[in-house]
Amino acid sequence: MQNIELMAPAGNFESLQAALDNGADSIYFGVEQLNMRARASINFTLDDLEEISNRCKTKNVRTYLTLNTIIYDHDLSIIKTLIKRAKDADITAVIAMDQSVINMARELGVEVHISTQINITNIETVKFYALFADTMVLSRELSLRQVKKITEQIEKNQIKGPSGKLVEIEIFGHGALCMAVSGKCYMSLHSHNSSANRGACKQNCRKKYTVIDQETGFEMELDNEYIMSPKDLCTIDFLDQVADAGIKVLKIEGRGRAPEYVAKVIKCYREAIDGIEAGTYNKEEVISWMQTLETVYNRGFWNGYYLGQKLGEWSNGSGSHATQKKVYIGKGMHYFPKPEIGEFKIEAFDLSIGDTILVTGPTTGAKELQVEEMLVNDEKLTAATKGDSVTIPLGFRIRPSDKLYKIVENKVEA
């Protein structure tokens, strides 16, 4: 069985580095405003393209620029500039849903991947887009049986993309789901003139609503279910079946998520994919991975439509169900390379021996560890508080721009 490419989200350099450090095979990211997370994350700029490309090349990681929004006439010159700059920076491919982007990329000789927004659900549509693209993301509404039928027909009919290689199928593997068909929702545009299809979703579906009978005036509050807010997708507990469906790329959602989310999710799926390849994937490992995935942002998990189960598993709250949360306590000050010790300034709350800490930064990524020893104001103490200077053995380099957090348990309402 060929390795599945693990594709990680990168909303900023912290998350990018976290993806690289934890085993991603490829990353996808947006630049400026023409992507589906224009407001949800801190997007990269055109001037960041070269650094993104260089960082990823050192790890042999592929880079995908998302240009998968609806495009208007006034966007066309910007799109052309973005694709040209991506080519100059040697970005691997662009992810597109608008035919103008597909055509421009083709004319400029840039590899194209077809976005899930195009809603590919059958082999004839795959044949059509094979004229333009080597990789296609299938509709999120398909079952694994339907996915497998498509991949088998690609093999049987030798459907090849512009590169001359068989078309590769990508599916969505983990993260937030939208109630709309493959993410094409107009609710935010209708209520706030802020289009989700232009990367500016207002997340109306994640709120609580009251239903009113217009004839009688009777009001009913929808108890325990945010009926337009699906639980997050998680495939790690049946990833062997996903692999058997013949997919080549597994996409992890989360460009708006924190770097520790990217680090933990990518690490879990990396281990799971490698376990399938090695024949060591098992239930005990799955339980451990699920416990780790539950520590970072999630709305609860379900299997999506892949296994043909009942439709619609809804979250029972508007926020995260994560079992842990991070609390900011300070910032990086200095790094001593020989002993591999980091110095931090405590700016809020306290820190004690035994605490789990998280260090994040544009170059550092997201590193988590337990404090086993530390010096507080050059004294060997067991606790530090606001205003103290703390040095901790780390095993990795920190920078003055890095932030220090403490990981604590998060009480989640049942």
Would you tell me how many other CB atoms lie within 10 Å of the CB of residue 163? 12
pLDDT at position 69 is 85
Q: Residue 33 pLDDT > 90, yes or no? A: no
Q: Look at residue 260 in the predicted model and tell me its pLDDT.
A: 97
**Do residues 283 and 239 lie in contact, with contact meaning Cβ atoms separated by under 8 Å?**
no
Write out the DSSP string of 127-145: HHHTTT-SEEEBPTT--HH
CA diameter of the chain: 76
What is the model's pLDDT at position 85? 96
Structure-model confidence comparison of residues 142 and 320, the more confident one:
142
d(CA 96, CA 74): 17
pLDDT number for residue 107: 95
Q: Choose between 308 and 311: higher pLDDT.
A: 308
Band (pLDDT 50/70/90 cuts) for residue 230 is: confident
What is the spatial distance between Cα 187 and Cα 37, in angstroms, rounded to a whole number?
Answer: 16
Question: Which pLDDT score is estimated for 21?
Answer: 98
Give the whole-angstrom CA distance, residue 328 versus residue 336.
23
Considering 27-41, 66-80, 273-287, the range whose residues carry the highest mean pLDDT is: 273-287
- Is residue 25's pLDDT more than 90? yes
Which amino acid type is present at position 87?
K
Q: What is the 3-state secondary structure (H, E, C) of 315-362?
A: CCCCCCCCCEEEEEEEEEEEEECCCCEEEEEECCCCEECCCEEEEEEC
Out of 220-229, 307-316, 324-333, 377-386, which region has the weakest mean confidence (pLDDT)? 220-229
Identify which of 273, 291, 296 has the alpha carbon closest to the alpha carbon of residue 366: 296
State the virtual CA torsion across 344, 349, 350, 351 in degrees, nearest 10: -50
Instruction: Give residue-wise pLDDT tens across range 102-115.
Output: 999 999 999 999 99
pLDDT, residue 205, reads 60
Q: Is pLDDT above 50 for 414?
A: no
Q: With a cut of 60, say whether residue 197 has pLDDT above it.
A: no
List the one residue out of 24, 171, 12 whose CA is nearest residue 92.
24
Q: At what angle do helices 259-278 and 283-293 cross, to 10 degrees?
A: 170
Determine the pLDDT at residue 321. 81
Whether 83 and 110 have beta carbons less than 8 Å apart is answered as yes
pLDDT on residue 392: 97
pLDDT of residue 2: 57
Tens of pLDDT, residues 335-347: 999 999 999 999 9
In 10 A of CB 39, how many CB atoms?
A: 15
* pLDDT computed for residue 265 by the predictor: 98
Tens digits of residue pLDDT in 345-355: 999 999 999 99
Specify the higher pLDDT residue, 191 or 24. Answer: 24
Q: What is the pLDDT of residues 233-288, one digit of tens each?
A: 999 999 999 999 999 999 999 998 999 999 999 999 999 999 999 999 999 999 99
Domains and CATH numbers, the chain: 5-178+230-302 (3.20.20.70), 182-220 (no CATH), 324-409 (2.40.30.10)
Q: Where does the pLDDT of residue 310 fall: very low under 50, low under 70, confident under 90, or very high at 90 and above?
A: low
Tell me the residue type at 116: T
**Residue 299 clears pLDDT 70, i.e. is over it:** yes
**pLDDT tens track for 375-390:** 999 999 999 999 999 9
Position 40 scores a pLDDT of 47
Contacts made by residues 178-184, CB under 8 angstroms, sequence distance 24+: 178/205, 178/230, 179/205, 179/228, 179/229, 179/230, 181/119, 181/139, 181/141, 182/116, 182/117, 182/118, 182/119, 182/139, 182/140, 182/141, 183/36, 183/116, 183/117, 183/140, 184/117, 184/119
pLDDT interval class at 195 (50, 70, 90): low
Three-state DSSP state, 281: coil
One DSSP character per residue, 43-101 reads -B-GGGHHHHHHHHHHTT-EEEEEE-S---GGGHHHHHHHHHHHHHTT--EEEE-SHHH
* pLDDT range class, residue 214, cuts 50, 70, 90: confident
Closest CA to 161 of 135, 139, 138: 135
* For helices 76-88 and 99-108, angle between their N-to-C axes, nearest 10 degrees: 40
Instruction: Work out the pLDDT band at 217, boundaries 50, 70, 90.
Output: confident
Q: What is the pLDDT of residue 1?
A: 46
